[in-house]
Structure 1
Amino acid sequence: MRNLPTKIHIQNTLTGKETELPIWKNGITRLFVCGPTVYDRLHIGNARTYASFDNFVKFLRYTGIKVRYIQNITDIDDKIIKKAEEEKTTPEEIAQKYTKIFKENMRALDITSVDKYLPATDYIQEIISQVERLIEKNYAYKIEKDLTADKAGGYYFDLSKFPDYGKLAGRTIEQAEDGVSRIDENENKKNRGDFCLWKFPKTNLPLSKKKTKKPILLDGEPVWWAPFGWGRPGWHIEDTAISEKELGPQYEIHGGGRDLIFPHHEAEIAEQESVSGKKPFVQLWMHTGLMTVEGKKMSKSLGNFITVDEFLKNNDANLFRLIVAMHHYRSAMDISERETTAAKEALNNIKEFFAKLDLITKKGVKEKNEENLKTLISFEEKFVGGLTEDLNTPKSLAAVFESINKFSQNIWKLNKLTAKNIKSSFENHLKILGIKIEYTKPDKSTEKIIKEREIFRNKKEFSKSDELRRQIEAKGYKIDDTPLGPLVYKN
């Protein structure tokens, strides 16, 4: 019973309006989402973004839409170099270490929709090509390194040549100075907001050195040969070089966290539209809301910085995916004790519902009930309908719990086949949100106690049956006596 939507609408950050999902002429929707800078363990704020886009892509594929979904990995950056200095190792080893941890985290959270993870260092030649073309078109200018002041130079993007800068965030070029990162700092820039495309090393390295595609380590920093000088890429151009190579100069959807709108995504627009001469670079921009912990911004200094590994030590991955789905992807998301408790209760309610359906499938009646079929169809329509409305996962979850309540009113009257179909439908739809409901069934020793307890209950020897109930509960199981017999499970 798959009810496929005719149209899907998504809020476009660029226009501030909902727009129909764009699809490429060959029937594929191309999506690029900014991935992690691999210098530390992934925190749950980043994971929220990746889980949200995982929901999005899984939904599109559920409807039959083909999606090519790629994500970059920033494996060369100031933060990586600094971490390598602190740990007395190389930037490459730091990047490899935390890339491995990142991918493990993604698997643990069932974030599985990405087709390719693409490290920036695999695209150095494409980055060099973009810088060359920007230089040729007079969008980039050179700042010489100042060896006497120990200052590195580089090639910078000239914002005065791109009047559309700021159109995504609603800012002007004059408002660009608060979007400058450390690699962009240089007092000799033409405009305060100009950003670095290619950073020269502080140590002088002659261009006459033999051309090579492999980097060399110079003063702890990896640098690559380029016809315009040894160096390493700026942050923004890594993404446009990758997306141009893999998706082309224009594609359908670009996503990331709200904190990346300015300056990162603005810079990407400036780079790609300048280098290709084609507009728009991207048709639809999607951004996830920020995350707080107990109402405060997550930071190491406040002691509320939560990594994915830390969260999963005490919680199930399904709990995280449910909390993410309880919030609209564009809204702020607060991780609090109250929020987590509510999500745990909701998850347990679904588990109990599934346990009941399994019992009915095993021992229930065979008669059909057309009213239950109508309720199931209504659930599927409402669940899918919510996702077509700007990926409104809270609305889809509301359909889940509304339907559970309806079915629960006369649940023991469900027939076997209907119970089986209800569970299958709920499983398939919850999988779109990365939620896989599992509960623990009784082991053999517990099954033996359950049977003994039933014998005492039938004999009305309730003191003995109550003692066996306590033994079952001591093992962590919940036990309910139902019209079909005992329901025993563990959350």
Structure 2
Amino acid sequence: MYAWPASEVPALPGQGRDLRIHDTATGGLITLDPGPVARIYVCGITPYDATHLGHAATYNAFDLVQRVWLDTKRQVHYVQNVTDIDDPLLERAARDDIDWVALAEKETALFREDMTALRMLPPKQYIGAVEAIPGIVPLVERLRDAGAAYELEGDVYFSVEADPHFGKVSGLDAAAMRLLSAERGGDPERPGKKNPLDPMLWMAAREGEPSWDGGSLGQGRPGWHIECVAIALDHLGMGFDVQGGGSDLAFPHHEMGASHAQALSGEFPFAQAYVHAGMVALDGEKMSKSKGNLVFVSKLRRDGVDPAAIRLALLSHHYRADWEWTDQVLQDALARLERWRAAVSRPDGPAADALVEEIREALANDLDAPAALTAVDRWAALQQEQGGSDEGAPGVVSRAVDALLGVAL
């Protein structure tokens, strides 16, 4: 599966700072120290609907991670999946009387268009669950043969007891996990499971649903968590730098995935940091496909909203914060974009070297994009009020905003 075209990232003088970021597993800030190639895995979409602003906010956060690393003169190895076979996709296809493959391809194509418009840097590998199945099957067989998984009526479940580190990603107790498991795709009430929290690794073929050859597992399809584990291990290996996604993925998805990988490898941890973006609400409720309270990036674009303004709206909130989309959020972003473009359109302006360093410091401090925006606001206001004599300053600001914030002025 192919990703989307990369926008050029301007080179800046000097060098960025190492990233300090909030790690869900430890509950505090840690300083990441990747090698020459920083490795990041971000969980992708289940393509049964278009990209909404909750998606966009999440991918914007991890786009900033990449940009901070690139500014430190590192390379970035970014991997993202597409869950192009799952119950919600099949249910939506049945509801709309459309082939599930056609639905997945249509929505994935629209996602690519949205990511391109928003100037999100693409992953090096963009892997669908279906194309990953040949690599998933051997992992499930290994877990089963090692006693870390078991069969139940043809399905194969992972035993959470097989990983002594289970629970260290989310830090939740068993009762909270059980509630979230029921809400987020698990089946804690199924009779016969060794532990209510045990997640499915391989679902035996169901009548009327697609299935694949699972070798000794029989016909079926993979569970959600093992999909990402297989892709991440294949392309990044154990101990990569950042596992990313929305905060609703901390449990069960990232918790279970970490345990799968740790049981397979005997190594700990699966990722050096687990980084989670906050949720975006509309009319007082979290934006979600199940509730239908969505604002789509593609709809905003069709309505003529500049993608740079959409990105500025996302950047105006700290990535870990839960926040609400309103018309005022968009209007503020449009006004900010107009001010910034007016400021950099002049032939000269106030010196900008200190501003670049201020943006770098803000982003290195747990991706504090609102602080970076405020710094650019101050420079733009100074340009408006009194101008300056530095002929290169507007160009420096324009390149820095593009390189570090992904906003083209």
Q: CA deviation at 1:195?
A: 0.7
Which of 188, 200, 204 is matched with 1:200 structurally?
Answer: 204
1:116 shift after superposition: 2.2
Q: Distance in 2 between matches of 1:48 and 1:395?
A: 17
SS at match of 1:223: coil
How far apart, CA to CA, are the structure 2 residues paired with 1:6 and 1:345? Answer: 30
SS of 1:170's partner is coil
Which of residues 386, 394, 399 is equivalent to 1:423? 394
CA distance in 2, matches of 1:228, 1:176: 28
Report the counterpart of residue 266 of structure 2 in structure 1.
Answer: 277
Distance (whole Å) between structure 2 residues aligned to residue 322 and residue 44 of structure 1: 12
- Structure 2 counterpart of 1:162: 163
Change (3 A) 1:3 1:399: farther
- The corresponding residue for 2:93 is 84
Q: Which residue of 2 aligns with 1:449?
A: none
CA RMSD of aligned residues (A): 2.0
Say whether the 8 Å CA contact 1:3–1:381 is kept in structure 2: no
- 1:202 maps to a residue whose letter is R
The answer on whether the counterparts of 2:163 and 2:262 sit within 8 Å (CA) in structure 1 is: no
CA spacing shift, 1:409–1:87, aligned 2, 3 Å: closer
Distance 1:46 1:111, change over 3 A: same
Q: Does the 8 Å CA contact 2:205/2:219 hold for their aligned counterparts?
A: yes
2:24 aligned with 1:13: yes
- 2:40 is aligned with 1:31: yes
Aligned partners of 1:22 and 1:283 also within 8 Å: no
Question: Cα distance 1:328–1:182, how it changes in 2: closer, same or farther (>3 A)?
Answer: closer
* Pair 6,95 (structure 1): closer, same or farther in 2 beyond 3 Å: closer
**What is the rounded CA distance, in whole Å, between the counterparts of 2:114 and 2:17 in structure 1?**
34
Does the aligned pair in 1 maintain the 2:238–2:269 contact within 8 Å? no
State how many pairs are aligned. 393
Partner of residue 137, structure 1: 146
- Of 297, 319, 322 in structure 2, the residue corresponding to residue 329 of structure 1 is 319
**Cα displacement (A) at 1:280:** 0.8
Among 339, 364, 371, which residue is 1:349 paired with? 339
Cα distance between partner residues in 2 of 1:159 and 1:8: 32
State the match for 2:234 in structure 1.
245
Say whether the 8 Å CA contact 1:72–1:242 is kept in structure 2: yes
Instruction: Report the secondary structure of 2:217's partner residue.
Output: coil
- Report the AA paired with residue 192 of structure 2: N
**Which residue of structure 1 aligns with residue 4 of structure 2?**
none
What are the Cα deviations for residues 263-304 of structure 1, in whole angstroms up to 9, with x where unaligned?
A: 000000110000110001111111111111243322468663
Checking the alignment, whether the CA contact within 8 Å between 1:244 and 1:250 is kept in structure 2 is no
**Shift in Å, 1:107:** 1.0
Relative to structure 2, which stretch is displaced further, 257-266 or 286-295? Answer: 286-295
Paired with 2:67 and 2:27, the residues of 1 have a C-alpha distance of: 24
Question: 1:163, CA displacement in angstroms?
Answer: 3.9
Which 5+ residue runs of structure 1 have no aligned equivalent? 145-152, 204-218, 362-368, 438-491
CA contact (8 A) 1:254 1:285 kept: yes
Mapped partners of 1:44, 1:6: distance in 2: 29
Larger Rg: 1
- Bigger relative contact order (CA 8 A; separation at least 6): 2
Quick one: structure 1 residues 319 and 115, their matched pair in 2 at CA, closer, same or farther if it must change by over 3 Å?
same
What's 1:59 paired with?
68
> What SS class does the counterpart of residue 227 from structure 1 fall into?
helix
- Counterpart in 2 of 1:213? none
Q: Identify if the C-alpha distance between structure 1 residues 320 and 301 changes in structure 2 by more than 3 Å, giving closer, same or farther.
A: same
Q: 1:409 to 1:308 in 2, by over 3 A?
A: closer
2:8 — aligned with what? none
Q: Does 1:387 align with 2:363?
A: yes
Q: What is the CA–CA distance in structure 2 between the aligned matches of 1:173 and 1:139, rounded to whole Å?
A: 19
Aligned-pair distance for 1:424? 1.2
Equivalent residue number for residue 319 of structure 1: 309
Pick the aligned partner of 1:123 from 124, 129, 132.
Answer: 132
Moved more, 344-353 or 160-169: 160-169
Give the alignment's TM-score, normalised by structure 1: 0.76
8 Å contact from structure 1 (residues 81, 221) kept in 2: no
3-state secondary structure, aligned to 2:126: strand
3-state SS of 1:19 partner: strand
Q: Which runs of 5+ in 2 are unaligned?
A: 1-11
Cα distance in 2 for partners of 1:46, 1:37 equals 11
Note the alpha carbon deviations across 1:31-66, whole angstroms, 9 max, x for none.
000000111212110111111211221222123121
| Contact 2:17–2:360, Cα closer than 8 Å, also in 1 | no
Question: Which residue, out of 381, 384, 400, partners 2:376?
Answer: 400
- CA distance in 2 between counterparts of 1:220 and 1:156 reads 20
Mapping for residues 60-75 of structure 1, pairs under 5 Å: 60-75=69-84
Q: Quick check: 2:16–2:68 contact (8 Å CA) kept in 1? A: no
**After superposition, what is the alpha-carbon deviation per residue over 1:409-458, rounded to whole angstroms, capped at 9, x for unaligned?**
321xx44xx23x11211111111212112xxxxxxxxxxxxxxxxxxxxx
Separation in 2, partners of 1:182, 1:260: 11
- Letter paired with 1:73: V
Shift of 1:230: 1.3
Change (3 A) 1:184 1:232: farther
Q: CA deviation at 1:18?
A: 1.3
1:97 and 2:106 aligned: yes
Amino acid at match of 1:223: W
**Paired position in structure 2 for 1:435:** 407
Distance 2:291 2:47 in 1: 22
Q: 1:5 to 1:106 in 2, by over 3 A?
A: closer
SS at match of 1:187: coil
Q: Which residue of 1 aligns with 2:254?
A: 265
Alignment match, 1:206: none
CA drift of 1:408 comes to: 3.0
Change (3 A) 1:320 1:165: same
Distance change >3 Å, CA 300–CA 122, structure 1 → 2? closer
